[in-house]
Amino acid sequence: MKKRILMLFVFALTLQMQAQTNTGNTEKLPRVTILATGGTIAGAGESETKAAYTAGTVPVDILLNAVPQIHELAKISGEQIAQIGSQDMSVEVWLKLAKRINRIFEEDSADAVVITHGTDTMEETGTFLDLTVMFDKPVVLVGAMRPSTAMSQDGNKNLLDAVMVAADPASQGKGVLVAMNGLVFDARDVTKTVTTSTSTFQSRNFGPIGLIYDGKVNFYYQSTRNPSQKFDVSKATSLPQVEIIYGYADASPVPVDALIKTKVKGIVYAGMGNGNFNAPVGKALERASKEGIVVCRSNRTGAGRTTLYNEVDDAALGFVVADDLNPQKARILLMLSLMETSNRTSIQNNFFKY
């Protein structure tokens, strides 16, 4: 009898100690705020097997409760910033996100931020935040290619991975990251490469910087380019208008002339090869440049750098080049640069530094 009482006592003591340890651990967990914006990760379809669905219909609390394991990795809080398919992402939401994240870190109300996002424009939001979040703390974007109701949905695992990456101290000081499909990318470099595949995110020039496996992230590379240059958007309510024009054989100057008439502040030209254009488009871009519009040559190939003075005399035409940024990322850096200056040398330097 005595022995049984002793065993019970020991058992109760062990339970209490365990509970204390757990409480202690919980208190030590990093604080991760999840900012939800919509996308497929919050999408719901009518059937487990059909592809059709509506993006951005599942609210943040349901999204978070669907992956209880994240609460073992971090103290989680959630906020709904938007509820859209990311094809509807806008400068307005970007500014809201950047301001909110800067405020969260300023007030020290979280150690890291995860953003749930549609995959269509995730690379653009990532680049924008990389350039406008003033803190070194982890910011991780995540999404899904299959809606939460699909049989083989990828969102839950991606979200778990993203929280794990955000909670890992090794993720600090690496700029904004994208965690998708077991890989970690520098937001500056990553791009969506396939319309429907779960392995759609790639960094064509440099590859992923980390691998996620068995609940752990291992980092292998770090960009030397991105962390230094930031733009203060705390007072911004809009950004200078910059549009993209796509290059192709026998293209006409009509779109460039339309943008000159619209008085845009910048044009990113997604040129052929190393940012090339045919003669009529070249003449129109020269007209734009003379009107004070900053013309930035990028390219439509999907990889590599757009380099100065290859077949184009950029100095004579007053053009800048996007270096290795694709057109949609170059547009973001050009908009942010134009907020501060219209000096082409300074803008070109921004492209070479970022």
Q: Output the smallest distance, CB 196 to ligand GLU, in A.
A: 9
Q: Output the smallest distance, CB 341 to ligand GLU, in A.
A: 32
40 catalytic residue (yes or no): yes
Measured from the CB atom, is 88 or 243 closer to ligand GLU? 88
Secondary structure (DSSP) of 3-54:
HHHHHHHHHHHHHHHHHHHHHHHHHHSPEEEEEEEESGGG-EES-SS---EE
Rounded-to-integer distance, Cα 235 and Cα 213, Å: 41
- Residue 191, number of CB atoms within 10 A of its CB: 22
Q: Which of 60, 82, 86, 350 binds ligand GLU (CB under 6 A)?
A: 86
Rounded-to-integer distance, Cα 269 and Cα 321, Å: 9
- Tell me which stretch binds ligand GLU (CB under 6 A): 80-88, 99-107, 127-135, 208-216: 80-88
Q: Output the smallest distance, CB 56 to ligand GLU, in A.
A: 6
Q: Does 85 bind ligand GLU (CB under 6 A)?
A: yes
What does the radius of gyration of the chain's CA atoms come to, in whole angstroms? 24
Q: Does 210 bind ligand GLU (CB under 6 A)?
A: no
Rounded-to-integer distance, Cα 305 and Cα 206, Å: 12
Number of residues that bind ligand GLU (CB under 6 A): 11
Active-site residue, selected from the candidate residues 21, 23, 37, 40: 40
Map tokens 């509807």 to a residue: 88
Q: Does 125 bind ligand GLU (CB under 6 A)?
A: no
Q: Does 97 bind ligand GLU (CB under 6 A)?
A: no
Measured from the CB atom, is 129 or 347 closer to ligand GLU? 129
Tokens representing 5? 């009482």
Q: Which residues are designated catalytic?
A: 40
